[in-house]
């Protein structure tokens, strides 16, 4: 199994984070540490990267391969970041937060993790294998309409009802335990031109099993408390459902007169917009040609503001 992950939109994200030499940064999705290393390379001796990953194998890889005192690795969901950092009193002191969402190449390539519809393996799909239900366990217990709803909502799959019905028919004879069993059931009722017929359904089940959207929403909110004035939020997402959440979050908090309820007040004014929307970017043609995965990447940047909303509008 390869341990390699090609970091997506590396230059754009490192530039976008606008790294200050002795700042403290959070890489919420360590993966194989490509972005973390990029941040470390720009930091001075008192800089720091706090990196999270809910996958133990990512953290173990980091401990074995990046020996740098400025790196703190934490095995945890990123939605737990505020709580994990509570004792360090870092609220309002983080200079940048990066989220590079989704799964890493090693997770996809290792058939035993159950994310791949091309390689047969146990139907697991948990990024954090130390807790929660595997996809096989969920499919065994869920009823037809629940399966259809998940596949429709998180995969935007029009054939969701046909797929759910095919799954339930199959389960009358035997359980679904492997990725290829599920992929073949889906392929028996879905026809596609360019993508594998199971692409949308696998994405949907993965999002559901890992509670990806809830985790993202909670973390975006926490970023408002953690980020210092002028600090950067950088999010790379890989499908429209995820990107919509990021876009709406930034727009909501970049609106003039956004309410500051529950957020620390920066400076002495009470009419601060918590965020300034710095827009979105896509991967370059050059990158897309080298790394197919970057094709669907959307990078969004926002700056935590400390100014009065009138100043920000100017």
Ligand X SMILES: C[S@@+](CC[C@H](N)C(=O)[O-])C[C@H]1O[C@@H](n2cnc3c(N)ncnc32)[C@H](O)[C@@H]1O
Binding mask 160-199 for ligand X (x = CB under 6 A): ----------------------------------------
Q: What is the rounded distance in angstroms from the CA atom of residue 28 to the CA atom of residue 226?
A: 13
95 sits near ligand X (criterion: CB under 6 A): no
Could you say whether residue 33 binds ligand X (CB under 6 A)? yes
**Alpha-carbon span 134 to 281, nearest angstrom:** 34
What is the number of other CB atoms lying within 10 angstroms of the CB of residue 109? 18
User: Of the two residues 127 and 226, which places its CB atom closer to ligand X in the complex?
Assistant: 127
52 vs 249 by CB, closer to ligand X: 52
32 binds ligand X per the rule CB under 6 A: yes
CA distance 148 to 62: 38
**Nearest 5 degrees, angle CA 259-CA 28-CA 248?**
35
The SS3 of residue 128 is coil
Stretch that binds ligand X, among 97-105, 116-124, 254-262, 300-308 (CB under 6 A): 97-105
Using CB atoms within 10 Å of the CB of residue 134, give its burial: 0 to 12 exposed, 13 to 18 middle, 19+ buried.
middle
Give me the 209-238 binding string for ligand X, x by CB under 6 A, dash otherwise: ------x-----------------------
C-beta atoms surrounding 286 within 10 Å: 9
* Choices 48-56, 64-72, 142-150, 224-232 (CB under 6 A): range interacting with ligand X: 48-56
Q: Is 262 exposed, middle or buried (0-12, 13-18, 19+ CB in 10 A)?
A: exposed
Determine the distance from the C-alpha atom of residue 114 to the mean position of all C-alpha atoms in its chain, rounded to a whole number: 18
Q: Which residue is nearest to ligand X (CB)?
A: 31
Site for ligand X in 6-25 (CB under 6 A): 7
Pairing of the two strands 227-237 and 48-53: unpaired
Q: How far is the CB of 180 from ligand X (least distance, A)?
A: 23
Dihedral pair phi/psi, residue 306, rounded to 5°: -125, 5
Name which of residues 51 to 80 contact ligand X (CB under 6 A).
Answer: 52-55, 58, 77-79
Q: Closer CB to ligand X, residue 163 or residue 241?
A: 241
By CB under 6 A, which span of 65-73, 101-109, 132-140, 300-308 interacts with ligand X?
101-109
Residue pair 264/130 in contact by the 8 Å Cβ criterion: no
Q: Hey, which bits of the chain come out as E strands?
A: 24-27, 48-53, 71-75, 94-100, 227-237, 275-282, 298-304
Mark residues 119-158: x for contact with ligand X by CB under 6 A, - for none: --------x-------------------------------
Q: Least CB distance from residue 47 to ligand X, whole Å? A: 18
Q: Would you count residue 31 as binding ligand X (CB under 6 A)?
A: yes
Rule CB under 6 A: which residues touch ligand X? Answer: 5, 7, 29, 31-35, 52-55, 58, 77-79, 100, 102-104, 127, 215
């Amino acid at each position: 199994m390869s341990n390699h992950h090609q970091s997506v939109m590396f230059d754009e994200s490192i530039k976008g984070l606008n790294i200050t030499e002795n700042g403290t940064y959070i890489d919420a999705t360590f993966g194989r540490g490509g972005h973390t290393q990029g941040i470390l390379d720009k930091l001075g001796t008192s800089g720091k990267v706090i990196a999270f990953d809910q996958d133990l194998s990512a953290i173990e890889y980091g401990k074995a391969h990046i020996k740098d005192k400025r790196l703190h690795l934490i095995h945890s969901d990123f939605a737990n970041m505020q709580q994990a950092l509570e004792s360090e009193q870092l609220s309002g002191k983080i200079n940048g937060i990066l989220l590079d969402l989704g799964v890493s190449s090693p997770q996809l390539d290792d058939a035993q993790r159950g994310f791949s519809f091309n390689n047969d393996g146990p139907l697991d799909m948990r990024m954090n294998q130390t807790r929660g239900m595997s996809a096989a366990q969920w499919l065994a217990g869920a009823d037809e309409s629940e399966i259809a709803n998940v596949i429709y909502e998180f995969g935007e799959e029009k054939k969701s009802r046909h797929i759910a019905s095919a799954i339930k028919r199959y389960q009358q004879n035997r359980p679904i335990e492997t990725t290829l069993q599920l992929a073949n059931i889906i392929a028996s009722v879905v026809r596609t031109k360019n993508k594998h017929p199971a692409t949308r359904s696998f994405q949907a089940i993965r999002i559901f099993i890992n509670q990806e959207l809830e985790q993202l929403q909670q973390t975006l909110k926490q970023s408002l408390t953690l980020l210092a004035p002028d600090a950067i939020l950088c999010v790379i997402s890989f499908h429209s459902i995820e990107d919509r959440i990021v876009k709406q979050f930034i727009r909501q908090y970049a609106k003039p007169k956004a309410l500051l309820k529950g957020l620390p007040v920066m400076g002495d004014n009470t009419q601060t917009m918590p965020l300034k929307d710095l827009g979105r970017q896509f991967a370059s043609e050059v990158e897309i040609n080298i790394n197919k995965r970057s094709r669907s990447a959307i990078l969004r940047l926002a700056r935590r503001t400390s100014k009065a909303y009138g100043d920000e509008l100017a």
